[in-house]
Structure 1
Amino acid sequence: MATVICVATQKGGTGKSSTAINVACALEVAGYRVIVVDTDPQATFSLWHRKRKKLGLNGFKVLQIPKGLLDEEIQALREDEKLDIILVDCPGNIEDITSTAVKLSDAVLSPLRPSSMDMTHSADTARFIKEMRNSYPDIRFILFLNAAMPRWNISRDIGPATREMLKNLPKTTVLEAKIPLAVAIAEFFGTGQSIFEYAPKSAAATAYKRLTKEVIQCLQN
């Protein structure tokens, strides 16, 4: 059966769709058979994918599934022997549709920006996941630092601080990979390319490859 990963956060503006796009592309390059479900009303992933198709870079499919059919459709996709991973791009906050996606997922991937406010929101998200685990105990929660600046104290401190905050939550991991604050990440979306095509030798491309590798390792453990 296919593994379901939803990319979700407690708030918008954390780089959720950029994460979903580049992780999906990295998984495909690594040989995984991927399909993406875009549940975000802003349809950010779908807009990027439309530009991608015009370039002839079709790759994986992207589906837009209405909330009322999400449970049924994801379950059907999970049983598709031609798929390895279903990646769900959720709205930019914990809405009902996000709750439904989380319930159907094996893992939740959540970007965390280097600010004290985002740490607070991540704590709220962790509490949400903890509540979900009362009914769905096998969900894994995976966080990582996005838009990191090595010279900023909070970029250096937020990883260890978040690990300490979440250390008593089972199946909760803060990854070592950090996605840098980079111009290439701000620019790639408008091209229909992934970061690996737009800036293949950049630090951002290397970081997304490492991030995806760590996500896969988490799922295998």
Structure 2
Amino acid sequence: MAAKIISVINQKGGTGKTTTTINLGCALATLGKKVLLVDLDPQANLSYSLGLTEPAGTLADVFTENKTFHEIKSERSGVSVLPGSNELVDIEISLVNQPERETFLKTILKEAKGYDYILIDCPPSLSLLTVNALAASDEVVIPLQMEVLTLQGLGQILNTISDVQKAFNPKLKVKGIVVVMFDKRRKLSQEIEEYLHENISEKVFENRIRLNVKLAEAPSFGQSILEYDRSSNGAKDYLALAAEFLASK
């Protein structure tokens, strides 16, 4: 059975996108799933957060055919990882004039065998790399902070997903919106979450990711939250989210 490919996307930086890719992926692995994480962000925050500061190769090398999928693949925190690098900026520029420029990543991921889930950490922009991720994916997960401006950004994300559905990938769908950095003490957080439930047709996961300092600390140690502090609210929240993720259609 082919892996389910999930793009984790938000065009705004600092929204918990990388944190969600890592910790949802590691939580799925903890629940017995075989998981591959793909660092498609030129900032390579996912790779750094898992201690891959000097990998044998990166996704940019596979795009340029200097290395193979299997040569760059690393194992960290119970999951496989395809590391990223800032060279992906150059890759994006070079893709512009290539035929079938939107489906390079889809071709690369055909080498990924034996996985249940492939999670792609997308760049914080609606770029050609992001379009590559969406063209390769079955589903999309959208981490969302409870801030007023994020609602405007959500509309842009959903429009991009719709455009990709029409042009390249009619099977693509939104798996769900993940509420991140949730602070129940803030009235605004509750108001925006209520707005989402009342006005957005896409699924909003019931399990929120609470604001948690341990989540911010874990990358400094090159660990997922499940390794860094299994007893933390961050670990509990991502395990609960993973269980809900597996149960939802």
The normalised TM-score by structure 2 is 0.78
What are the within-5 Å matches in structure 2 for residues 117-128 of structure 1? 117-128=149-160
Deviation of the 1:58 alpha carbon: 5.1
Deviation of the 1:187 alpha carbon: 0.6
Tell me which amino acid in the other structure corresponds to 1:70: L
Contact 1:35–1:87 (CA under 8 A) maintained in structure 2: yes
Asked if 1:47 corresponds to 2:48, the answer is yes
Deviations 1:116-136 (A, max 9, x none): 001111121112222222243
Q: Structure 2 CA distance, aligned partners of 1:163 and 1:121? A: 17
Unpaired runs of at least 5, structure 2: 55-74, 96-103
Deviation of the 1:183 alpha carbon: 0.9
Tell me which amino acid in the other structure corresponds to 1:121: G
Deviations 1:145-193 (A, max 9, x none): 11110011121122231233322xxxx3111111111111111111122
With over 3 angstroms needed to count, the CA separation of the structure-2 counterparts of 1:23 and 1:116, relative to structure 1, is same
- SS of the residue corresponding to residue 50 of structure 2 reads helix
- SS of the residue corresponding to residue 108 of structure 1 reads strand
Contact 1:20–1:87 (CA under 8 A) maintained in structure 2: yes
The runs of at least 4 consecutive aligned structure 1 residues that moved more than 3 Å come to: 64-69
Two-structure CA RMSD over aligned residues (Å): 2.2
With over 3 angstroms needed to count, the CA separation of the structure-2 counterparts of 1:37 and 1:196, relative to structure 1, is same
Contact 1:113–1:147 (CA under 8 A) maintained in structure 2: yes
With over 3 angstroms needed to count, the CA separation of the structure-2 counterparts of 1:52 and 1:27, relative to structure 1, is farther
Larger radius of gyration between Structure 1 and Structure 2: 2
Q: Structure 2 CA distance, aligned partners of 1:198 and 1:52? A: 18
What are the within-5 Å matches in structure 2 for residues 99-118 of structure 1? 99-118=131-150
2:20 counterpart residue number: 19
Tell me which amino acid in the other structure corresponds to 1:137: P
1:157 counterpart residue number: 191
1:174 counterpart residue number: 204
Q: Structure 2 CA distance, aligned partners of 1:64 and 1:186? A: 20
Contact 2:50–2:219 (CA under 8 A) maintained in structure 1: no
Contact 2:52–2:83 (CA under 8 A) maintained in structure 1: no
Asked if 1:140 corresponds to 2:164, the answer is no
1:129 counterpart residue number: 161
Contact 1:7–1:87 (CA under 8 A) maintained in structure 2: yes
What are the within-5 Å matches in structure 2 for residues 80-91 of structure 1? 80=113, 82-91=114-123
Deviation of the 1:52 alpha carbon: 9.8
Aligned residues: 211
Contact 1:126–1:166 (CA under 8 A) maintained in structure 2: no
2:226 counterpart residue number: 196
Deviations 1:25-45 (A, max 9, x none): 101111111111111101111
Tell me which amino acid in the other structure corresponds to 2:8: V
Deviations 1:67-116 (A, max 9, x none): 55422111332xx2x21111111111211101110111111111111110
Q: Percent identity?
A: 31
Asked if 1:75 corresponds to 2:110, the answer is yes
Q: Structure 2 CA distance, aligned partners of 1:61 and 1:97? A: 21
Q: Structure 2 CA distance, aligned partners of 1:177 and 1:6? A: 19
Tell me which amino acid in the other structure corresponds to 2:136: L
Q: Structure 2 CA distance, aligned partners of 1:130 and 1:156? A: 28
Q: Structure 2 CA distance, aligned partners of 1:122 and 1:201? A: 32
